[in-house]
Amino acid sequence: MSTHSTHVSQLIRPEKDTFLHEENPYEAMMSRFDVAAEKLGLDPGLYKILRHPEKELTVAVPIQRDNGDIEVYTGYRVLHNTSRGPGKGGIRFDLNVTLDEVRALAAWMTWKCAVVNIPFGGAKGGVICEPTTMSTGELERLTRRYTAAIIDLLGPDSDVPAPDVNTNERVMAWIMDTYSMHKRHTVTAVVTGKPVEMGGSLGRREATGRGCMMVTREALRKLGLPIVGARVVVQGFGNVGSVTANLLAREGARVLAVSDKSAAIYNPAGLDIEDALKWVREHRYLDGYPRAERITNEELLALECEVLVPAALENVITSRNAGSVRARIICEGANGPTTANADRILEEKGVFVIPDILANAGGVTVSYFEWVLDRGGYFWDEENVNDRLGKIMVRAFEEVATMAQRHEVSMRQAAYMLAIERVAAVHRLRGLYA
């Protein structure tokens, strides 16, 4: 700890600010950072460094729509911290993308990579658009123009994007191709989450959900609860939520309810997740699914269960509804689904929260494998990928749980403390370039 006369607590803004900005994702993330930094006695200088993103880029993304009109979209890319390695973080296409959101997600990626101890820093990107109203050709033109606009940041040794909200393997293929055309040779390691045929890793698509299942299993074991028959509720039935629900069901859990943007469905005897997945493949959304009762999203979040998995977007559990949560365990499949104010309520209720920077780190872990395999030109089979993922997720859960017990803090505070300690240690070793 520094002997500098300024203490980190003097640099932290008053706690009341978090109440004014409960649904601002950057404020929510930084309020957790502030608590962890103070508990660690973080050096004030390091506190200032870790609180500020290294780079923020805002770009105009003009494209020609299919009808001939020119439309200009706004895109962002933020590198929060690259002291431990290249920036790593997804790209999302969504109307609700903001610079504050991208900043928060970039910082979350810094802590997430540090929690599972992989050599990446945090980054994130996004374009403000409504992809559901765009043709495949328009999405390709948007992706390629956005990639060209941020290309100076990208590279296997500097910044490695991945899929996020409303982006997928195809979008990653376009990014890789655009980058490679500019570099005049194929660079597979510039993105992860690619199609397997282009250097993607087996198991990557299911990795985030599989990681959620793994840490949920560890949490149930820690609390002395059996996984067989455990009641599970999943909010969000996209990639993460559906995979988590399916894998927990295979482990013997009883999935009571799931939801997507169209509907929330409930069956007290347990849903047939394979059947629900088949319905979504055929109809795109859960709406109209005939073998379950329709409930509201608010009712879903308040169902009595052992495990609640918020796997959609940020700020789902807030001070307004945290008091109605009746889960023993919350596994945060999404980034930032619980606000800082809700944390206090859940702690008082004794809810065991597996924080996002641990719970959904399976995706970035297998992205790390993909990056390594692309650079080496040698690929593992899916069993090997899943086995290595399991070892990293279980180890990270145990390390966070140990930190929580040692400092008598929540799992969230412990995860932030572990991550900040690891990033700060690298900054101390590297020193300050002047």
pLDDT tens-digit profile of 227-237?
999 999 999 99
123 and 245 inside one domain: no
- Residues 131 and 250 occupy one common structural domain: no
C-alpha span between 317 and 310 (Å, rounded): 8
| Joined tokens for residue 198 | 């282009």
For strands 304-310 and 70-81, give the pairing. Answer: unpaired
Residue 125 lies in a domain: yes
Span between the terminal Cα atoms of the chain, in Å: 22
The answer to whether the beta carbons of residues 64 and 34 sit under 8 Å apart is no
Domain edge (last residue) among 308, 333, 359: 359
Q: Which of 333, 264, 261 is nearest to 298 (CA)?
A: 264
d(CA 390, CA 382): 12
Spatial strand order in the sheet of 87-93: 55-64, 70-81, 121-127, 87-93, 159-163
What is the C-alpha separation between 116 and 130, in angstroms, rounded?
33
d(CA 404, CA 7): 23
Quick check: 204 and 281 in contact, CB under 8 A? no
Assign residue 328 the CATH number of its domain.
Answer: 3.40.50.720
Residues counted in the chain: 434
Rounded Cα distance between 376 and 137, Å, is 33
Pick out the chain residues at pLDDT < 70: 1-23
Q: Which domain holds residue 77?
A: 53-189
DSSP 339-363: -HHHHHHHHHHT-EEE-HHHHTTHH
| 180 and 211 belong to one structural domain | no
| 124 a catalytic residue | yes
Domain identity same for 123 and 253: no
- 251 and 315 share one domain: yes
Q: What CATH number has the domain bearing residue 83?
A: 3.40.50.10860
Residue 394, in any domain of the structure: no
What confidence score (pLDDT) does residue 434 get? 82
Number of domains in the chain: 2
Q: Are residues 213 and 335 both part of a single domain? A: yes
Based on the fold, state whether residues 225 and 349 are members of the same structural domain: yes
* Euclidean distance between CA atoms 236 and 46, whole angstroms: 37
Q: Which one from 124, 261, 278, 349 is the annotated catalytic residue? A: 124
Does residue 281 lie within any of the structural domains? yes
Q: How far apart are CA 409 and CA 35, in angstroms?
A: 11
Distances (CA, A) of 234 to 140, 284, 302, 305, 390: 32, 17, 12, 11, 21
- In this predicted model, what pLDDT tens digit does every residue of 286-340 receive, in sequence order? 999 999 999 999 999 999 999 999 999 888 999 999 999 999 999 999 988 999 8
Specify the pLDDT at position 14: 44
pTM across the whole model:
0.92
- CA-based radius of gyration for the chain: 21
Tell me, yes or no, whether 220 and 164 share the same domain: no
> Is 174 inside a domain boundary?
yes
In a domain, 251, yes or no: yes
**Residue 214 and residue 397: Cα distance in Å, rounded?**
9
* pLDDT reported for residue 6: 55
